[in-house]
Structure 1
Amino acid sequence: MMDVLQQLAYQLTYHREDPILLNSAFFFYYFVVFLFCYLAVSGSKQGRVWVFSLFSLYFFYKACGWYVGLVILSAVVDFILSNRIYREPRLSRKKLLLGISVVANLGMLFFFKYTNFFIGIVNDLHLGHLTPLQIFLPIGISFYTFENLSYTIDVYRGEIAPVKEFMDYVFFLSFFPKLMMGPIVRAADFIPQIAKPYKLTAEDVGKGMYLILTGLFKKMVISDFINQNFVQYIFDDPSKHVGLECLLGVYGYALIIYCDFSGYSDIALGIARWTGFKIPPNFDSPYQSTNITEFWRRWHISLSSWLRDYLYIPLGGNRKGKVRQYINLALTMLIGGFWHGASWNFIFWGGLHGAALALDKLRITFLKKRQYVFKGFSAGFWKVVGILITFHFVCFCWIFFKASTFADAWTLIHQIIYDFQPNVMGTLYEGYKPVFWVMGMAFVLHFLPRSSENWLAKRFEKMPVPASVVVMVVFLWFIIQVKSTQPMMPIYLQF
Structure 2
Amino acid sequence: MNRIHDIFTFSEAFPLIFTQANFWIFFACVYFVFALVYKKIALRNSYLFLISLFFYYKTSGLFIGILIFSTLVDYTIGKGIYKSDNPVKRYVLVTLSVVINLTVLCYFKYAYFFTDSFNALFNTDYKVINTLAQWGNTLSNQNYFTVDKIILPVGISFYTFQTISYSVDIFRRKIKPLKSILDFGFYVSFFPQLVAGPIVRAENFVEQIGEPTKITKSDFDSGTFMILKGLIKKMIFADFIAMHFLDRVFDAPEMFSGFTNMMAMIGYSLQIYGDFSGYTDIAIGLALLMGFKLPVNFNSPYKAINAGDFWKRWHISLSTWLRDYLYIPLGGNRQGTAASYIILFIIIIGVLIAFGNIQIQITVLVLALLIYIWSIFNHKVKNHINTNINVMLTMLIGGLWHGASWKFVIWGGLNGLGILVYKYWRKISPYENLNNFGVRIWKILITFIFITFTRIYFRGESMAHITRFYNQIANNMDWSHALDILQNYQAVFWVMLLGYITHWLPQPIKNKIESTYANSPMALKVLSAVCLGIICYQAFSSDFQPFIYFQF
Q: Is the 8 A contact 1:206 1:458 kept in 2?
A: no
| Superposition TM-score, scaled by structure 1 size | 0.95
Matched, 1:463 2:459: no
Tell me the residue number matched to 2:144.
none
Tell me the residue number matched to 1:337.
399
- In 1, Cα distance between equivalents of 2:385 and 2:79: 39
- In 1, Cα distance between equivalents of 2:526 and 2:4: 28
What is the alpha-carbon root mean square deviation over aligned residues?
Answer: 1.6
Tell me the residue number matched to 1:155.
170
Q: Give the one of 81, 84, 87 matched to 1:85.
A: 81
Amino acid of the residue matched to residue 335 of structure 1?
I
Q: How much has 1:168 moved relative to structure 2?
A: 1.0
Q: Is the 8 A contact 2:259 2:473 kept in 1?
A: yes
Structure-2 change in CA distance of 1:432 and 1:51 (3 Å): same
Q: How much has 1:206 moved relative to structure 2?
A: 0.8
Matched, 1:355 2:412: no
**Pairing 1:235-384 to 2, within 5 Å after superposition:** 235-320=250-335, 321-366=383-428, 373-375=433-435, 379-384=436-441
Tell me the residue number matched to 1:226.
241
Structure-2 change in CA distance of 1:196 and 1:429 (3 Å): same
The count of corresponding residues between Structure 1 and Structure 2 is 486
CA deviation profile, 1:160-209 (whole Å, cap 9, x unmatched): 11111111111111000100000001111111112222122111111111
Matched, 1:124 2:123: no
Matched, 1:144 2:204: no
Q: How much has 1:385 moved relative to structure 2?
A: 1.4
Tell me the residue number matched to 1:105.
101
- In 2, Cα distance between equivalents of 1:435 and 1:27: 27
Tell me the residue number matched to 2:145.
none
Tell me the residue number matched to 1:428.
485
Q: How much has 1:366 moved relative to structure 2?
A: 4.5
Q: Give the one of 470, 494, 500 matched to 1:437.
A: 494
Tell me the residue number matched to 2:444.
387
Tell me the residue number matched to 2:31.
35
Q: Secondary structure at the match of 1:102?
A: helix
- In 2, Cα distance between equivalents of 1:176 and 1:128: 42
- In 2, Cα distance between equivalents of 1:242 and 1:40: 59
- In 1, Cα distance between equivalents of 2:268 and 2:6: 34
Q: Is the 8 A contact 2:7 2:26 kept in 1?
A: no
| Superposition TM-score, scaled by structure 2 size | 0.85
Amino acid of the residue matched to residue 147 of structure 1?
Q
Tell me the residue number matched to 1:411.
468
Moved more, 314-323 or 440-449: 314-323
Q: Is the 8 A contact 1:202 1:462 kept in 2?
A: no
Moved more, 61-70 or 15-24: 15-24
Query: Share of identical aligned residues, percent?
Result: 39
Amino acid of the residue matched to residue 160 of structure 1?
I
- In 2, Cα distance between equivalents of 1:162 and 1:425: 60
- In 2, Cα distance between equivalents of 1:365 and 1:163: 48
Amino acid of the residue matched to residue 352 of structure 1?
L
- In 2, Cα distance between equivalents of 1:470 and 1:229: 28
Q: Is the 8 A contact 1:198 1:276 kept in 2?
A: yes
Amino acid of the residue matched to residue 442 of structure 1?
G
- In 1, Cα distance between equivalents of 2:496 and 2:387: 38
Structure 1 regions of 5+ residues with no counterpart?
Answer: none
Q: Is the 8 A contact 1:246 1:416 kept in 2?
A: yes
Q: How much has 1:127 moved relative to structure 2?
A: 4.7
Q: How much has 1:129 moved relative to structure 2?
A: 2.4
Q: How much has 1:8 moved relative to structure 2?
A: 4.7
Q: Is the 8 A contact 2:431 2:439 kept in 1?
A: no
CA deviation profile, 1:345-370 (whole Å, cap 9, x unmatched): 10110111111111222234456xx9
Q: How much has 1:122 moved relative to structure 2?
A: 2.7
- In 2, Cα distance between equivalents of 1:441 and 1:464: 27
- In 2, Cα distance between equivalents of 1:222 and 1:209: 19
- In 2, Cα distance between equivalents of 1:351 and 1:26: 40
Matched, 1:61 2:57: yes
Q: How much has 1:475 moved relative to structure 2?
A: 2.3
Q: Secondary structure at the match of 2:153?
A: coil
